[in-house]
Amino acid sequence: MLLNLPFITVVIIMALGLYAMLFKRNLIKIVIGLSLIESGVNLFLVSLGYRNGGIAPIYTNAPSTNMVLPTPQALTLTSIVIGVATTAMLLSFCMVIYRHYGTLDSRKVRRLRE
């Protein structure tokens, strides 16, 4: 059961993010939900690349050949950079929407569009 703890955590984090994106009306909370989903995906990628007793693949004179997988680590670093850029862009959109409409409620912004 303890070996599945990272995967259980991934499911919980992604469920919280999905809940925030689907059921919250505040645009900032929707962005936070998206960030939670991104964090869950990053944890999932790192959990997939983990090997018990493994060492980092950057050592040239490694005492054993049991190394963690470097590909999920590289994908996770790329995902973090993309996630930060996406979050910054969405928050700047939220600022523009607030300046233009005076609210962050997604229902009111939709109603003003019609």
Indicate whether 4 pLDDT > 80: yes
Could you report the per-residue pLDDT of 33-65, keeping only the tens digit for each? 999 999 999 999 988 887 777 777 776 676 666
CATH of the domain at 98: 1.10.287.3510
Within 24-113, residue ranges assigned H as helices are 27-48, 70-101, 106-113
Domain count, the chain: 1
> Secondary structure of the chain: what % helix, strand, coil (to 5)?
75, 5, 25
> What does pTM read for this prediction?
0.84
Contact 62, 35 (CB under 8 A): no
**In terms of residue numbers, what domain contains 96?**
2-113
Average pLDDT over residues 8-30: 95
**pLDDT mean across residues, the chain:** 87
Q: What is the pLDDT of residue 51?
A: 74
Beta-carbon contacts of residue 92 (< 8 Å; ≥ 6 apart): none
**Bridge partners (DSSP) listed for residue 67:** 55
Q: Say which range, 5-14, 19-28, 30-39, 54-63, has the weakest mean pLDDT.
A: 54-63
